[in-house]
Structure formats: structure tokens, C-alpha cells
Structure 1
Amino acid sequence: MVRKFVLISIVAVVCLAGCSEGRFPEKGAGVQRIDTCDGMIEYLQKQNLPALKSVEVWQNGYGPGVKITTKHYEILTTLLDPLMLSQVPGFMESAYLAYNAQLPEPIATTAKFTVYLFADRQQWEDFTKTFAGRQASLYCKIKAGAYYLNGACVVYNIGRERTFSVLGHEGWHQFNSRHFKFRLPSWLDEGVAMLFEAYRNDKGLFYFEPSRNMQRLGALKTMLIKNKMIPLKELIAMNPGEALVANDDAIMAFYGQSYGLVRFLREEGYGKRLSNFSQLLVDGLRGDWPLSEASKRIAADRNIPLTIRWNRAIGTQLFKQYIDSDSDLTGIEKEYITFCRKIVYHVRLK
């Protein structure tokens, strides 16, 4: 999930393929096939989904598609799966409420967020080669899932549960990139994003349950068993790109430990650090971090690419200012490791 924030232009696709603007069949005609655009539109409209505002044909160059509109999202998809498309409006609106729940007051979003959901990886890669410009080769290295870039989440189908998981994750990046005045350091941004990967569905409503995120818990337990935990002072200075060029263990450790760190700051000791953690987020939202003017400018201007050097400096500085001022973080690291062992105790590795 390496992300650089650059201004890119989307190249218009000349050859539009897929759905026609066909009307519904006249009375007495055969029932529409559900694997067609018109059939899917008719199916979704009949479901009376609370979160669904409208659905229409999406003309694009990648495959037959529909545009699903909710209160806060515009979902452009070539995935004509009735179960997933009937659930995705409610999932995204539930995620939006969960993102807002991280803040003291809800944020009113005026312009809708854009999500591209493709039926398969080939469509996703073809779109990425146009959409991501010079960075396309970097994003195409993502093994499975999604990315966030220039205001849009770009996802392809990797199965219903995992697809919704990456939508929840990337949706947080999209939400805070629009509304937070300052960009978050990597450990914080990725750690919070993983709070929205595990969920349960109850009668069309989605509830996020970080404690049931078995992917991250499994990674965390693996690193503990292998004795390959990244030291805390390195973790808070690291970004995903550094882990990506290292090895699979480094990637697993960075994400698993960032997930564990955010949960630790929210939960350990009956939430004794929750107030400080929440203030860190709120000050990032409002642009109130106590940084130098140069660092504030980089934090606020998303047209300036983030550098490893900036992330390392700010990640460490903010952690020490808001969470723990100990120079080597020895005391809090012991508590953190103990917490990690506690939350993975019940996890069975395959």
C-alpha cells in the first residue's frame, strides 16, 4: 500500500465498451438476465436497499458496468455480482459512519467519494496503467486488493469478504486524505485503516470489529514466534515502502505491528492512553500538530510527495509528543509487546 500523493490527470478512454443505454423490456418481454447491466440495475432497484440512492449504466472501456450512488459514495463497478452489489452500498455507508466515529464530532461530506470496483485483476491493471500514470508499475506490484490514489479507491474482486476488507481499509485513507488538514505518519494511518478490515453483517448493517482481524493477528503472532518484531522506535519511523523493498516478513511485521500498536494505544490499561491517542488524531484533523513551519507545509500540501525522511522524523516526533516522551521508549515497548502477546494468545496458525 505504498502511496505517493501526486497530481495526475486521467486520460479519457475513447473506446467505450460494455453496457448499452438499453431500456427495460416492454411489458410481456422476458426477464432481464442478472449478469447484464440492465438486469443488475433492475435487480438492485427491486431490493429496496436503504443505502442505495440510484443505480445506472456506467460506460467505460473495461467491461459492462454500473454506477451505484449512495449518500456519500459513487461506486463505479464492472463486478455484476448480485450479492456483493446489494451489500456494498450498506458497507460503504457503515464504513463512513465508523470513520467519523474516530473523531469528536462528525464531518459533513459534501462531494461524494469515488470508488472503482473491478470484476478482475486484468481490468484493474488496465485501468491503473492509465489512472496512475508514471506510478502505474508501482501499484501493479500490489499482489491482491486495492490502493488509494488522488481521491479514489481502486479495488478489484478478491472474494466478498476480502474485497470488503480492503474497501474498509482504503476507504479510511480516502476519508482522512480529504478531511484531515495534515497527512498522517504511516504507522498511524495504516494502523487506523486496519480497524476497518474485520466486520460482521447483521440484517444489512455492518459493524467493524478490530479484535476479530485474524489476518493481522496471525501476522503479529508469527512475528512474535519468529522473534522478528520490529523495535518500536523503528516501527513509528517506518513506512510501507521500506518494508516492501525488504522482504515478506518485513511487510507482515509492519502491518501486523501497526495494527497492534493502534489497538494498544486505544485499549491497554482500560484505555489509559486513549485520550492522548484521540488528541493526536484530532490535532491532525485540525492542523494543530506542534511542528516546524516547514514540516507543517509538507504535512498540509498533498501535492508534495511524502519522503521517507519526513515520515521518519514526524512519525517519531509525534509519538513522543503525544504518547511517550521516553528517549528510547523502553518502558512503553515492554507494555506493547505484552499487549501483543495477550491479543494473539487465542490465535491458531495454520
Structure 2
Amino acid sequence: MLLLKAGLMLGGCVSGEWPADKYDGRVNAASLRDAPVSVSGELIRDVPVQRRPWAFGGHSGQVLTTPHYRVYTTMTRRSVIDRIPLFLERAMAHYTTALAPLPKPGRHLETYLFESRGQWEAKTRQLLPKQASTFLALGRGGFTTRGVSVLYYIGRNDTLAIAAHEGWHQFSQATFRSQLPLWMEEGIATYMEGYISHPDGLPKFRPWANRERYHTLREAVQANGLLPLHAVLGRTPQSFLHESKSRLLVYYAQVWALTHFLAEGENGRYRHALQEVLLDAARGRLAVESLGRRGGPGGVRLGPAVLTAYFDTDIDAFERAYLQFIDKAIRTGGRDRIVQGRSPVD
């Protein structure tokens, strides 16, 4: 899977094919694994962190271990090193509570965060020798393969946003027994990007707080450039990249909006079904034979099979409501709400 944000921040997710990859600050809590969390993980304020030396390609670094993550990093910026453990743990709380009560992974998720693109390129070639050229030709960002995220520093805010996006791919790859449709996998990953910085310094995850996706969505509407729903459901991110990076940006903006629509559109009509899909994927009940047949050659990963099975059998009516939701989201005053992390469709 491929992540692209405004400013050409890119990332991807691979698992064989386009998927479907001394500061020992143990502060307060001995473990967060059983700590209570709120919907956005806001009860997590302190994270136990263990550190040990690490090096990559002659560059010294460290491994930061938290209850759910193991971060290998060559970063020297304290502003990032001090934030990333808490940010990732709060992201985990968000993944497991925002849309459904989901199980946490039974192992540490591994993230590589490099100081430079050159280090990231070397790790990319090491992990994906046959696919490296595709990722190296992209832009700023990172990718996930087999539950391992590989990122590099692209500015503090963008680095954290892509860590949240790729963190969802990590989480789903490590936890779900069935794969989500690509449009939903990428839509939820973009949904998880949004956060605001609170005056107390703690990140607050707010799915609407995503100015880049919102701006792209609004521009696409104004230019009459939205993708038809059948293309959003039935094509891979890679196929849009082959056309242009701008088309890929629109795809990501639309799956972001589609996830919001499923979460709150039509007065919450689809919210329970969205939760059911996620729980079925976690339990391994999503990729059943009937869905595979209905979805055609792509099974549940491409096409409308999951949408028609869980949400609405009338795709035309669904698309009309989805487009009305987008129109409402981009109306005058919507951007101000986005900046605040508030829904523009309230």
C-alpha cells in the first residue's frame, strides 16, 4: 500500500505483493498493556521506555522499547526521540478503540526511523531487494512490510503523521486474521493520521484534523476530478500512481472521506457495520468463500464485495449519499473545523 500526502509525502505497505510490510525513562506506569484508555488514548500520559545501543550501516543509534513497540532509530533530534514512544503508544490506543474494540498485537511492532533518506534507502534495499526500485522512485515517506515499518525523518509533524498511517498497517498486519479490502485498509490508515498538539504537549488523535487530505478533497471537487466509487473500490493505489501522483492523492483523500462517511455519515447508519467488518477481520471471518465469489478475481481485497455484504446492496444510492457527504464536508467553514479537529458535517 502506498501513502501519499500533499507535499508528496509517500509511503507504502507491502507483504509479498501490493497488500493487501542513556534514557531509561520508565516513567510512572510499569506497563501500559492493561492500562485504561479512552477513545483517543488520552489516559496514556506516561510511557515506560527502555533503551539500548544500536547501529545501522556505521551510523550509531538506539532501540527504544515500549509496551507495544520496538523502535530502531538513528535519529539525533531529541524533540523526535522524546515524542515518538508516547506518540506510538497513544496511536495504538487509538487503533484499538476509535472504530471498534480491537485486540492488541501479541508482540512488539518493529519500526525503523532513520535520520536520513540515504539510511532509509539502504534499509529498503536490504528488506525488499526486488521491490526497492519502486519505493526509491517515490517521494518522501516510508512503507510497511510484514508488520515492520521503515520511515525516515521528513519534518516533525509529517514524520509523526506517516508513523500513525504506517502504524495502522503494522497493526492490521500483525493482528487481523483476514485482510481488509484495500480501500478500507488505506482509508482507515489515513483516518488514523489526524492529530492535534495539545498545549500540554500530548498528541490528541482527531481523525478530521488532516488539512492535507481535506485540501486535496476540496480541490478535486472544485475541479470536477473526483474518482467514481467503482474505481475507488476496485483499483489498487499503485494503479493510480501509474497515472499520476495527483490521482493517487485524490484516491487517498477519497478513501479518507469514505471512512469518515462510514463512521458518521447518514446519522451513523453504517457505524455498526463498520465495527462488524473490523471485528470479523480480526477474528478471521471476513474472507469467506461467498464474499470471495461475489468479489470476483480480487476477492474481498478489490471490488464492492465487502461494501454490498455489510453496508448497502444499492451501490448507486450509497455513492450518491457519499458524494453528498463530501459536499457537506467542504462547505464554507469546513476548513476551520478541520484545523480544530472537529467534524465539518455536524
Same fold (TM over 0.5): yes
Q: Deviations over 1:117-167 (max 9, x none)?
A: 000111101111111121111121230111001221000000000000000
Q: Distance in 1 between matches of 2:126 and 2:189?
A: 26
- Paired amino acid for 2:202: L
Q: Does 1:283 align with 2:280?
A: yes
Q: Does 1:56 align with 2:14?
A: no
Match of 1:120 among 116, 121, 140: 116
- Paired amino acid for 2:15: F
Q: Distance in 1 between matches of 2:99 and 2:228?
A: 29
Q: CA deviation at 1:5?
A: 1.3
**Residue in 2 aligned with 1:195?**
191
Structure 1 residues 293, 134: CA separation in 2 closer, same or farther (over 3 Å shift)? farther
Q: Distance in 2 between matches of 1:47 and 1:113?
A: 21
Q: Distance in 2 between matches of 1:294 and 1:210?
A: 29
Give the TM-score taking structure 1 as reference length.
0.80
Structure 1 residues 208, 91: CA separation in 2 closer, same or farther (over 3 Å shift)? same
Q: Deviations over 1:303-345 (max 9, x none)?
A: xxxxx9516774311111111112xx22221211111122122
Match of 1:184 among 160, 164, 180: 180
Q: Does 1:310 align with 2:298?
A: yes
Q: Distance in 1 between matches of 2:283 and 2:303?
A: 17
Q: Distance in 1 between matches of 2:159 and 2:299?
A: 29
Q: Does 1:91 align with 2:94?
A: no
Match of 2:258 among 234, 256, 261: 261
Q: Does 1:141 align with 2:137?
A: yes
Q: Distance in 1 between matches of 2:301 and 2:105?
A: 31
**Residue in 2 aligned with 1:15?**
none
Q: Does 1:243 align with 2:240?
A: yes
- Paired amino acid for 2:16: V
Structure 1 residues 221, 105: CA separation in 2 closer, same or farther (over 3 Å shift)? closer
Q: Deviations over 1:15-71 (max 9, x none)?
A: xxxxxxxxxxxxxxxxxxxxxxxxxx35x7498883132112112215121111111
CA contact 1:55–1:69 (8 Å) conserved in 2: yes
Q: Deviations over 1:56-99 (max 9, x none)?
A: 21122151211111111000000111111111110000011111
Say which is worse superposed, 92-101 or 200-209, in terms of deviation. 200-209
Match of 1:161 among 149, 157, 167: 157
Give the TM-score taking structure 2 as reference length.
0.81
Structure number with bigger Rg: 1
- Paired amino acid for 2:327: R
Identity %: 27
Give the alignment's Cα RMSD to 1 decimal: 2.5
**Residue in 2 aligned with 1:334?**
320
**Residue in 2 aligned with 1:343?**
329
The number of residue pairs the alignment matches comes to: 302
Q: CA deviation at 1:212?
A: 1.5
Unaligned residue ranges in structure 2 (runs of 5+): 3-11, 29-44, 337-346
Structure holding more strand per residue: 2
Q: Distance in 2 between matches of 1:82 and 1:319?
A: 44
Alignment of 1:27-106 (within 5 A): 41-42=22-23, 45=25, 50-102=46-98, 104-106=100-102
Q: Distance in 2 between matches of 1:315 and 1:173?
A: 20
CA contact 1:237–1:315 (8 Å) conserved in 2: yes
Q: CA deviation at 1:206?
A: 2.4
Structure 1 residues 110, 342: CA separation in 2 closer, same or farther (over 3 Å shift)? same
Unaligned residue ranges in structure 1 (runs of 5+): 8-40, 300-307
Q: Deviations over 1:268-322 (max 9, x none)?
A: 12211101111112111112226328949xx9xxxxxxxx951677431111111
Structure 1 residues 108, 3: CA separation in 2 closer, same or farther (over 3 Å shift)? closer
- Paired amino acid for 2:320: K
- Paired amino acid for 2:324: T
**Residue in 2 aligned with 1:6?**
16
Q: Deviations over 1:152-194 (max 9, x none)?
A: 1000000000000000000000101111111111110000011
Match of 1:211 among 208, 213, 220: 208
**Residue in 2 aligned with 1:222?**
219
CA contact 1:74–1:114 (8 Å) conserved in 2: yes
Higher relative contact order (CA 8 A, sep 6+): 2
CA contact 1:239–1:311 (8 Å) conserved in 2: no
